Structure 1
Amino acid sequence: MEEQLQKALNNVSFSVNAEKQTMDLTVIPHGETTPISFHLNYKIVENGENTDIFITKIASDRLWIDEIVKLWLEKSNFQYRIPQNFAGIIKMFLK
């Protein structure tokens, strides 16, 4: 999956505001000439030894992408379990 994303996306920039629990991502999809920017809101949830990250909102600078993401988030809650061996490091940056 990661290799496929690297082939499809160029010039990725990424920043995190842990205090506000937001992420900003800008990519230029393969074959495109203009970047697409995303703003994500997330929350970190710790449950025993497990640490999960939930994406609660995604906004894009493209209306059609916003609509697709909105429908996607309504149907499925984006949740990712952070592997235990990375949880401590990731929480330092995201929490």
Structure 2
Amino acid sequence: MDEQLQKVFNNISFSVNAEKQTMDLTVLPHGETAPISFHLNYKLVENGEETEIIVEKIASDRIWVDEIVHLWLEKSNFQYRIPQNLSRIVKMFLK
């Protein structure tokens, strides 16, 4: 995990349901006593040799976090082009 993320989050758990194309993420932000959970809906888009992951929806178990994430998704689409050397591995887990 990235060093900066390790400074901010403790006890990260992550699971993927490739059949439903969902991810669940739980983090404990540094200094907080209760974890924050996220549920993501994603899709993989293959265009020739390129593969992108697009987050279509994110929901959180905290109302204020959920609102921030919702506003963020409205203003910018979360699309990430998967590097070609990693796409085969990523697709094994997400597809």
Relative to the length of structure 1, the TM-score reads 0.97
Unpaired runs of 5+ in structure 2?
Answer: none
Q: 1:58 is aligned with what amino acid? A: I
Q: Percent identity?
A: 80
Q: CA-to-partner distance for each residue in 1:10-35, whole Å, 9 max, x for gaps?
A: 00000000000000000000001110
Residue 28 of structure 1: aligned partner: 28
1:35-77 Cα deviation digits (max 9, x unpaired): 0000000000001111000000000000001111111000000
Which residue in the other structure is 1:93 paired with? Answer: 93
Structure 2 Cα separation of the partners of residues 7 and 69 of structure 1: 21
Alpha-carbon shift at residue 4 of structure 1 (Å): 1.1
1:47 aligns with 2:56: no
Q: Which residue of 1 aligns with 2:67?
A: 67
* TM-score, normalising length: structure 2: 0.97
- 1:87 and 1:10 mapped to 2: Cα distance? 28
Q: Which runs of 5+ in 1 are unaligned?
A: none
Which secondary structure does the structure 2 equivalent of 1:33 belong to?
Answer: coil
**CA RMSD across the alignment:** 1.1
The 4+ residue runs of structure 1 with deviation greater than 3 A are none
Letter in 1 for 2:62: R
Amino acid at match of 1:76: S
**Separation in 2, partners of 1:75, 1:31:** 29
